[in-house]
Amino acid sequence: MGTIETNIDKTVARMEGQLALWSAHLKDLVAKGEAAGQQAKVDSRKQIDELKTKLEHARAKLAEAKAAGEDKWDAFKHSVESSWKELEGAFRQLAQ
C-alpha cells in the first residue's frame, strides 16, 4: 500500500491533468462561440464565463490543498471535491 503522500500526489496529478483538459476544452468552446451568430455568442458567452469562474475556483482550491501539504490534506479534500463536482457538472451540462 502506498503512503498517504504518494496517494495525495497521484490525486493532485490526476486532477491537474483533468484541469488541463478542461482548460483546452474551454478554449475550443470560446473559439466556437466566437464563430457563432450574435445570439449564440451571447448565450454561449454566459455559459463560458461561468465555466471559467468554476475552473479557476477549482484550480485555486487544488493549489490551496496542494500547498497545505499532507498534514492538512483531509481538511481541504472536501472543498476540492465539491469544487470539482460543480465544475464537472457544468461541463456536462454545456455538452448537452
In tens digits, the chain (96 residues) has pLDDT values of 455 556 778 888 888 998 999 899 888 888 877 776 666 666 777 888 888 898 998 888 888 888 877 777 777 888 888 888 888 888 888 766
What letter would DSSP give residue 85? H
pLDDT of residue 1: 47
pLDDT of residue 17: 92
Q: What is the pTM of this model?
A: 0.69
Is residue 15 within 8 A of residue 83, CB to CB? The reply is no
CA gap 17, 21 in Å, rounded: 6
Residue span of the structural domain in which 83 resides:
4-95
SS3 of residue 2 by DSSP: coil
Cell of 90: 457544468
* Number of structural domains the chain divides into: 1
